[in-house]
Amino acid sequence: MSTATASMQECIQNCQECQTICADMLTSHCLVEGGDHVEQTHVKRMLDCIAACGACIDFMSRNSENHSLYCRACAEICKACAESCEKVGGMEKCVECCRTCEQSCSSMAA
Amino acid sequence: MSTATASMQECIQNCQECQTICADMLTSHCLVEGGDHVEQTHVKRMLDCIAACGACIDFMSRNSENHSLYCRACAEICKACAESCEKVGGMEKCVECCRTCEQSCSSMAA
Amino acid sequence: MSTATASMQECIQNCQECQTICADMLTSHCLVEGGDHVEQTHVKRMLDCIAACGACIDFMSRNSENHSLYCRACAEICKACAESCEKVGGMEKCVECCRTCEQSCSSMAA
Amino acid sequence: MSTATASMQECIQNCQECQTICADMLTSHCLVEGGDHVEQTHVKRMLDCIAACGACIDFMSRNSENHSLYCRACAEICKACAESCEKVGGMEKCVECCRTCEQSCSSMAA
Q: Tens digit of pLDDT for each residue in D23-58?
A: 999 999 999 999 999 999 999 999 999 999 999 999
> How many CB atoms neighbour CB C110 within 10 A?
9
The answer to whether C38 faces chain D, any CB pair under 8 Å, is no
Chain centre to alpha carbon of residue D35: 23
Say how far apart CA D29 and CA D20 lie, in whole Å.
Answer: 13
Closest CB from C62, C73, C80 relative to D70: C73
Which ipTM was obtained for this model? 0.95
The answer to whether A1 faces chain C, any CB pair under 8 Å, is no
- Quick one: pLDDT at residue D3? 65
pLDDT tier for residue D110 given thresholds of 50, 70 and 90: confident
Q: Between A4 and C101, name the one with better pLDDT.
A: C101
Give residues 49 to 108 of C whose Cβ lies within 8 Å of D. 51-52, 55, 58-59, 62-66, 69-70, 72-73, 76-77, 80
DSSP-assigned letter for residue B6 = H
Diameter over CA atoms, chain A:
46
Those residues of chain B that have pLDDT short of 70 are: 1-3
- Quick one: pLDDT at residue A1? 43
- Quick one: pLDDT at residue C2? 52
Side-chain half-sphere CA neighbours of C29 within 13 A:
24
- Quick one: pLDDT at residue B6? 86
What percentage of chain D has pLDDT greater than the value 70? 97
Q: What is the tens place of the pLDDT at every residue in D69-93? A: 999 999 999 999 999 999 999 999 9
DSSP-assigned letter for residue C35 = G
Q: Which of A24, A28, A38 to mutate to test the interface with C (most CBs of C within 10 A)?
A: A38
CA distances from D82 to C25, D21, D96 (A): 40, 12, 8
Q: What is the reported pTM? A: 0.97
- Quick one: pLDDT at residue D1? 43
Closest CB from D44, D51, D73 relative to C58: D51
- Quick one: pLDDT at residue B2? 52
User: Are D40 and B31 in contact (CB < 8 Å)?
Assistant: yes
- Quick one: pLDDT at residue C1? 43
- Quick one: pLDDT at residue D2? 52
Go through the domains of chain A in sequence order and give each one's CATH number: 6-109 (1.20.1270.360)
- Quick one: pLDDT at residue C12? 98
Evaluate whether A22 touches A97 at the Cβ level (below 8 Å). yes
Say how far apart CA D35 and CA D88 lie, in whole Å.
Answer: 9
